[in-house]
Amino acid sequence: MKCVILAGGLGTRITEESYLKPKPMIEVGGKPILWHIMKLYSIHGINDFIICCGYRGNVIREYFKKNNLEFGNLKMIDTGENTMTGGRLKRIEKEISETFCMTYGDGLSDINIKKAVDFHIKSKTIGTLTAVHPPERFGVLNLSGDYVKEFHEKLSGESSWINGGFFVFEPEIFRYLDEGDKTILEKKPLETLAMENQLTAYRHNGFWHPMDTLRDKLNLEKLWNSETPPWKNW
């Protein structure tokens, strides 16, 4: 099974470092956050990666060229500097022929990828996202059973859920990415899937943390240096 990672964003809210490198290459514990994400998939048996590059994609290429990493197949594809999330995914359509995983290049979790994939297969839907509990600044999901029904603006609390990434998709998702490079995956494509009862949510009550700001990076560094980093299970 392939894992697609969107790694082309500018990361404007963490400009202290992202003016030199794409956000997925910002380091936590001496390793790019991209490495941590790939490690998570690898321990669950997924070692076939497609990295969707954009802003400063050369930094990602140079890193993997210089570092002999333990991952299996790795393909880096230029998906444009200004391409939106759905547009990046659409650009690698020819690389996909079966069920695949996809996630963003800026979030860490201790999610069990294998269980998420199994959940998706049993659901028989086109897409599954991982629902996680939000910090206050995120918009939330309205869930009915295992189905995503609506998207709402910022709420908070343990009863709220947000899209934490870590998707599993069927190739049919590409039919919904019909606005070219301007396609925002989280808007029309996912909203349409939700309306058609084709988007399920795998609930994850464990650790999840984005890296949007310098504060997020410092929090993740602190966790990494603790006795038991919550996302490190290798």
Residue 187 lies in a domain: yes
Distance CA 108, CA 81 (A): 23
pLDDT of residue 13: 52
Residue 153 has pLDDT above 80, yes or no: no
Mean per-residue pLDDT, 184-190: 96
104 — pLDDT class (breaks 50, 70, 90): very high
- Average model confidence (pLDDT) across the chain: 88
**Reduced to 3 states, what is the DSSP secondary structure of residue 101?**
strand
Mean per-residue pLDDT, 156-180: 88
Residue 230 lies in a domain: no
- Residue in 169, 91, 99 with CA at minimum distance from that of residue 127: 169
pLDDT of residue 154: 54
Residue 232 lies in a domain: no
**For residue 17, what is the domain's CATH number?**
3.90.550.10
Which has the higher per-residue pLDDT, 163 or 18? 163
Residue 16 lies in a domain: yes
Residue 138 has pLDDT above 60, yes or no: no
- Could you report the per-residue pLDDT of 158-167, keeping only the tens digit for each? 567 889 999 9
Residue 53 lies in a domain: yes
Residue 234 lies in a domain: no
In sequence order, which residues have a C-beta less than 8 Å from that of residue 11 and are 6 or more positions away? 17, 18, 22, 23, 26, 55, 106, 212
Residue 175 lies in a domain: yes
Q: Which domain range does residue 135 map to?
A: 2-224
The beta strand positions in the chain, using DSSP E, are 2-7, 27-28, 31-32, 48-53, 73-78, 100-104, 107-109, 127-132, 139-144, 147-154, 162-163, 167-169, 199-203, 208-210
Q: Per DSSP, what are the bridge partners of residue 129? A: 201
16 — pLDDT class (breaks 50, 70, 90): low
- Could you report the per-residue pLDDT of 48-96, keeping only the tens digit for each? 999 999 988 899 999 988 876 777 899 999 999 899 999 999 999 999 9
- Could you report the per-residue pLDDT of 105-124, keeping only the tens digit for each? 999 999 999 999 999 999 99
List b or e across 35-58, with b for residues whose CB sees 16 or more CB atoms inside 10 angstroms: bbbbbbbbebebbbbbbbbbbbbe
Which has the higher per-residue pLDDT, 216 or 197? 197
Residue 61 lies in a domain: yes
For the chain, what is the domain count? 1
Sign of CA dihedral 32, 34, 38, 40: positive
